[in-house]
Structures are given as C-alpha cells and as structure tokens.
Structure 1
Amino acid sequence: MTAVQKVAIAGSGVAAMATAIQLAKAGIAVDVFEAKPELSALGSGITLQGNALRVFDALGVWEDVREKGLAFEGLTLRAPGPDAPVIAQLPEVKTGGPDYPACMGMYRPDLAKILLDHAEKAGAKTTFGAKITGFDATDNKVEVFVNETSAGTYDLLIGADGVNSTVRGLMGIETAPETTGMGIWRAFVSRPKDVEHSELYYGGPVYIAGYTPTGEDTMYAFLVEKAQDRFGVSDDQAVEIMRGESLAYGGPWNSIREDLNQGAKVNYTWFTKHLVPGRWNRGPVVIIGDAAHSCPPTIAQGAAQALEDAVVLAELLVDADRVSEELWDTFHERRVPRVQAVVDASVQLGEWQIEGKKDADAPGLLFGIAQKMAVPA
C-alpha cells in the first residue's frame, strides 16, 4: 500500500516527469497538467552531472538518455585571444559513481521528449494547455482546479511548475526568484571535432564564454554577461549581440560565429537564485525542483537537484502507507541541506566573478560540492 493513490502534478519539466514516472510505475494514478499548449524546453542544451545520470538509471531512462546525449570527462579552461590558449585541463569528480560518466551534454528538447514518453508508458496522463488555477485543500485531500474548472480530488498536488511557479503562489509562499546580476546568451550550434568536452573562457568582455558538446555533431555555446534588459531584442539583434560579444574569443568560437551568421537560434535569460525556507509543503500540496529552488548554472547542478527532489519524494510516497508529518520531515531533512549547499556554492561562484576575485578558491569550492553530490541523495 502506497501513501497516495491519486496524484496531480503541475508542470512538464524534469522534476515533474521524473516524479510522474516513479509514481506511475508503482501503480499510482498520475495526472500531469502543463499550462503550455505543447511540450517545450527553454534553452538549447543542458549539462548533466553524474548524479543526474544516476537518477536517470533509477527512472529507467538511462539507455535512451545515453543514446541521445554525449558523455564526456574533464573540463578545459582557456584564455581570451585569437589563439584561445589552454590554461588548464581539469578532471571532474564522478558524482554519480564509477558506473556513470562524469558529465553529459544533451539537447533539452530531446531530454523532455524522453521523459514524457516514459511517463506516459508508465501510465501517467499528461494534459497540455491545462493551467492549475486554484486548489482547495484539507488535511489529506486536495481538490485541484484547472483552467478554473475542478479536475477532481487528489491525495497530493505536486507543484513542479518552474521558477515562476503558479502553485507556489497559490500556496501563499512569498519566496520568489531574484536575479543574481548575470544574464546568459545561448545558441545551439555545430560541434567542431576537436571539442571533446566542456570548455570555459574566463576574462574578456563577458564573465564566462563557453560551450558544451551535446551530440556527435552538435553543441551549445553560451556567453555570461552582466544582466541587462535584453528581452525585447529581435532575433537578428540577439544574434548580432552574441556574435559581437564573442569576437574576443578564438579557437572553436570561430566556428560558432559562422553558425551564428547562418542563423543559429539564440535565447537569453537571467540567472536567478531562491530557496524556499523551511517546509516546501502546505498540507497535501508540495513544491519541488525550480519551484522550490533555483541557482545559477555555474556548477551545472540545477537539473540534478530537481531530479533528486523527484526520486526522493517518490521513494517516500511509495514506501510509506500514509502521508504523515514524519514523511515530510524525512523529505525535508534529505533535500533542504543538500539543495542549500548547491545554491550557496553556485551563487558564490557567480559573485566572485562579478567582483573580479582572482584569488578565490573556485576549484576548492567546486571539488567540495562534487564530493557532497557523489553521496546519493
């Protein structure tokens, strides 16, 4: 007997779909409600650390992920300039353990499609164009309203609906994402054969210039700048801005600029930070993933933490025979300190870059977090 028999999930990102997969596999009725009219994934590529890959294996999607993504080891640091000289080759901690690569790059829409397919195969029902507009909760039941109409009564509502979570607001939680002062340009481009893993350039006109391979012939490139109001620029203007800011960087950036000239799609977002303090649940309603916490992608742990939220919550709900205060205590004890460490470290790295602290121990901070993440959630 599981703690819940019928669950509603808001959102269709990695936290939502990972939870849907695990609960549906256990025979729990799962309804996923996504406000957007179709499956979509913002951004171009995603970097997945080993602890995220470990979760994919637990979900049963690892083989499909491995086929679509590109696994790699190590990190190269380069300096600005026409020759883009290599200044360091860094090993990476295998945060998923010895059975998984240290890291993987992947096209975001491919990952979204894999997770949706597996959720539906497991028995979860997904409805698009379905915005959760309210709920009426008692101690152990919650009536969920979708597009202003009752969708039924559930044992639990899980808000996995992203950084601008509607469910979080409906719960009365005032904590919300705030900008860290950085913005990022991203583009999905072709991959030169000499790019074998992530490479980062520090210095020059932006805080960070880098790229991560996502497949045999693809990668995503990014430029991290001071946060600005870039959201009204046209597609052509976006390409020109990204191209102009990249002129200080040579090496593979020459190929990236060629792709930008050929019309590669560019998108822009701000880095945010937040962590809902204390409990993430209010009775039979809980938020997870980006709804509960966000951080800059400076250590590429955002997706991994969302996935860990999902599998820990699902594990507790499947193993227990009822939803109790003890269950919620255990969930928060396992998740909040771990997420807090990731958010703090991610924000600290960004602050060091903004402040220009060249003597900061970034490698030590990265290694320390990697060691923590190597211990399963």
Structure 2
Amino acid sequence: MPAVRSVLIVGGGAAGSAAAILLARQGVAVDLVEERPDVPDVGSGITLQGNALRVLRDLGVWDDVRAAGYPFDSLGIRAPDPAGTLVAEIPDVRTGGPDLPATLGMPRPVLARLLLDQAARAGAKIRYGVTPIAFTQDPSGVNVNLGDGSTGRYDLVVGADGIHSWTRRQLGIDVEPASTGMGIWRVHVPRPAAVERTDLTYGGRCYIAGYCPTGAETMYAYLVEDVQDRSGLTHAEQIDVFRDLASSYHGAWDDVRASLTPETFVNYARFESHVVPGDWHGGRVVLIGDAAHSCPPTIAQGAAQGFEDAVVLAELLLAADTFDEALLTAYAERRRERATTVVEASVRVARWMLERTPPSEADVPGLMRRISVLVTEPA
C-alpha cells in the first residue's frame, strides 16, 4: 500500500498534473485544486525536450502529444542579416532515448488539457477556481481550508503552485525568484512551410529571436530583450512593439510580422530563477516544480524538471508502506543537484548574453551538450 492514501495537489501545471496522474492511477485519493477557472483556450507554445517526452510517454499521453505537436531533431542558428542566413545546423541529443524525437513543440493549452484530462481519467478530482487559504498539520495529516469554504484532511499536500508559490510562503521558506535582467515576448502565429524546427538568431535589437513549430499549421515566435515594465501596454500596443522589435529579423520573421493581427495572442514575461536551498518540505507539505526551483527558458528545461520532480516524488511515495518525512528528504536530495545544475546553466546562458560575452568565452553549445548528457539519464 502507498505511503499516503490521500493527497491534495495545489496547482494544475506540468508538475502538479503529472503527480496527480502517477498517484491516482495507483489508488491514491487525489484532489487537485487549480486557481484558474478552467484551462485557457489560447496561449503560447512550449518546447519539450526528450527527457520531458519520456515522462509524457510514462504518463500515457505520448500518442496524443505527438499527434498535437511538431517533433524535430535539430537546432538552427541564423544571422541577423537581411536574408536570415542559416549559419549552423546542430543535431539535438535524443535525451528521451532513441525511440523519441529530440524535441517537440506544441501549444501550452493543449498540453495542459491532455494532462488534466488524463489525471481525471486516473481518478483525480479536479476543482477549478479554487485555492487553499490556510493549512495546519499534525503528525498524522494536514487540515486544509479552501477559498470556496470547503475543508479537507490529507496525508500529504503537494505544492505545485508555480514560481510565486503560496505553499512555499506558508511553509515559511524565505526564497523568492530573482530577475535575470531579461524579458520575453511570445506570440502564437501560423507556421510558414519553411519552419520545420527551432531556429535561433542571436544579436540584432534583441538578445534572441527564435521560433518553434507547435503543429502542422502553428508555431510560436519569441523575442528576448532587456527586462522592462510592459504592464501598461494595451494589446494593440503590445502587437506594435513586437512587430517593431521583429523588424530586425528576416527569413521566416518576415512571415511572422505579416501574420500578426489584432487577434494574435501575445504575452510578456520576465526571466526569473530560484532554487530552494534547504528542505523542499515542512512536515507533510512538499514543493515540486517551479515552487521548488525555476529557471529562464534559455535551455528549455523548465517543464521537464517539473515532470522529473513528480516522477521521483511519486516513485518514493508509492514504494513505501508508511509515511515518513525521510521520504520527502530523500526526494529533495535526489532532485536538488540535477535541478540546480539546470537552473545554473539556464542563468549562465542568459548572463553571457546580457554581458555580451564573446563566443570564444561563452560556450553555449558545449554547455547545452553537457545538460543534454545529464538529463539523458532518467531522474
């Protein structure tokens, strides 16, 4: 019998939904609460590397992910010149194994829906528009008060509530994400026929101009700039700013600019990072995913690391007969070094760009290769 019989998961993102699937399908009574009223219908794309795809296969959603997304096995580097000249084509490492693509892009809302639907099929009870407002715990369980007036008692609470985690603060962990000095614009647009993988352009008016196909007809494009307060812009102004910044880039970028309409999804986010240095739990409350560690998307490992947290935590809980805090300590000890290495590498790439470190000193391909070797081994 698993070490826990009832679990509350706070947050329905990548880590939370994965944990819900893994625990519920083994008979654990899982409640998942998500503050959003539902899964958004529109949003940006996500880039998933092989180690994330390996977990998605284990979760039973790989066939649907493959059908909804766009797989590829190389990375292109282009120049910020009038032709968008291809200067390098780099084969990607198949970090999920030889039978999975190296990388796959897909719409974020589609991935979220696939995972939450799978969690529901596994038996998890999902409640949208609900957040915890307080919890108290004793040696045998956690009492939780929820914002809709309901209460519950659980063997374990899993805080998968993101980078600015309420659960982390309630545990008294005084760690907040720090800005890396960059901001990213993302738009979701039609895919030009010539775009068959991620291509990155370094230089020009932005640090990075990149795109990733997310399906047969769609892709997302992104621009990374010095972080700014863009909160006061209207949607139309956001589109105008994106179009203006994108004017430095050509090739497929000419199609991106031409495809922008008043209805185009666009968002702006700051690059932030943190790692909780000590315990990732307090009593019977534990953190996973971005609640425990977060990184800028410079090496596309954020969701993958959250998936890996869920796998390791579930493995330990399901293998034990009785609960002991040592299980949560073992989880963090097994995950901390790997997650920290990924976070530090992601921040280092951002810092090299911010400081305009010359390529002779900033070995981005070498660093990414080392991370690929690391994550090829299952967590």
In which range does the TM-score fall when normalised by the shorter chain?
Answer: over 0.9
Local SS of the residue matching 1:167: helix
Residues 112-139 of structure 1, C-alpha deviations (whole Å, 9 max, x = no match): 1100110001110011111111100112
2:206 alignment partner, SS class: coil
1:361 aligns with 2:363: yes
Please name the residue that 1:145 is paired with: 145
Describe the superposition over 1:146-185 as per-residue Cα deviations: whole angstroms up to 9, x where unpaired: 0173521100000101111111111111101111100000
1-structure distance, mates of 2:147, 2:285: 18
Describe the SS at the equivalent of 1:207.
Answer: strand
What is the CA–CA distance in structure 2 between the aligned matches of 1:313 and 1:216, rounded to whole Å?
A: 35
1:372 is displaced (CA, Å) by 0.2
For residues 148 and 197 of structure 2, what CA distance do their matches in structure 1 show?
47
SS of residue in 2 equivalent to 1:356: coil
After superposition, what is the alpha-carbon deviation per residue over 1:221-259, rounded to whole angstroms, capped at 9, x for unaligned?
A: 000000000011000000000000011101000110011
Partner SS for 2:331: helix
Q: Distance in 2 between matches of 1:279 and 1:157?
A: 15
What residue is the counterpart of 1:338 in the other structure? 338
Aligned-partner SS, 1:179: strand
Deviation of residue 311 (structure 1)? 1.1
Tell me if structure 1 keeps the 8 A contact 2:79–2:85: yes
**Structure 2 Cα separation of the partners of residues 260 and 106 of structure 1:** 19
Q: Which amino acid letter does the alignment assign opposite residue 92 of structure 1?
A: D
Contact 1:41 1:112 in 2 (8 A): no
For 1:367, the aligned partner's letter is R
In the alignment, the residues of structure 2 paired with residue 351 and residue 364 of structure 1 have an alpha-carbon distance, to the nearest angstrom, of: 16
**2:363 counterpart of 1:376:** no
Q: Which residue of 2 aligns with 1:115?
A: 115
Distance, in Å, in 1 between the alignment partners of 2:253 and 2:14 is 30
Q: For 2:69 and 2:265, locate their aligned partners in 1 and report how far apart those are by CA, in whole Å.
A: 20
Please tell me whether the aligned partners of residues 31 and 124 of structure 1 are also in contact (alpha carbons under 8 angstroms).
Answer: yes
Tell me the SS of whatever aligns to 1:115. Answer: helix
Once the 2 structures are TM-superposed, how far is the Cα of residue 328 of structure 1 from its aligned partner? 2.1
Tell me the distance in 2 between the aligned counterparts of 1:43 and 1:180. 23
1:42: Cα distance to partner?
8.3
| Local SS of the residue matching 2:144 | strand
- How many angstroms apart in 2 are the aligned matches of 1:312 and 1:58? 13
CA contact (8 A) 1:140 1:283 kept: no
- Kept after mapping to 1: 8 A contact 2:42/2:265: no
Residues 223, 41 of structure 1: CA spacing in aligned structure 2 closer, same or farther, 3 A cutoff?
A: farther
Query: Equivalent residue for 1:174?
Result: 174
The equivalent of 1:226 in structure 2 is 226
CA distance in 2, matches of 1:242, 1:226: 14
Q: Tell me how far apart the structure 1 counterparts of residues 137 and 150 of structure 2 sit (CA, whole Å).
A: 13
Unaligned runs of 5+ in 1: none
- Change in CA separation of 1:297 and 1:218 when aligned onto 2, cut-off 3 Å: same
Aligned-partner SS, 1:12? coil
Q: Distance in 1 between matches of 2:79 and 2:201?
A: 5
Partner in structure 1 of residue 124 of structure 2? 124
Distance 1:368 1:41, change over 3 A: farther
- For the Cα contact (< 8 Å) 1:177–1:273, is it kept in 2? yes
Alignment partners' CA distance in 1, 2:349 and 2:298 = 7
Three-state SS of the structure 2 residue aligned to 1:30 is strand
Which residues of 2 match residues 67-146 of structure 1 at below 5 A?
67-146=67-146
What are the within-5 Å matches in structure 2 for residues 285-304 of structure 1? 285-304=285-304
* Post-superposition offset of 1:263: 3.7
Matched-pair contact (CA < 8 Å) for 1:137–1:284: yes
Question: What TM-score results when the alignment is normalised by the length of structure 1?
Answer: 0.98
Q: Letter of the 1:372 partner, please give it.
A: L
After superposition, where does 1:271-290 map in structure 2 within 5 Å? 271-290=271-290
Distance 1:41 1:375, change over 3 A: farther
1:213 matched residue in structure 2: 213
The one-letter amino acid paired with 1:50 is G
Paired residue for 2:14? 14
Gaps of 5+ in 2: none
* Residue aligned with 1:221, SS: strand
Residue by residue, what CA displacement relative to the aligned partner does 1:34-86 show, whole Å, maximum 9, x if unpaired? 12222238850000000000001111111111111111110000011220111
RMSD: 1.2
Superposition map of 1:263-274 within 5 A:
263-274=263-274
CA contact (8 A) 1:16 1:160 kept: yes
Residues 15 and 309 in structure 1, CA contact (< 8 A), matched pair in contact too:
yes
In structure 1, give the amino acid aligned to 2:376. Answer: A
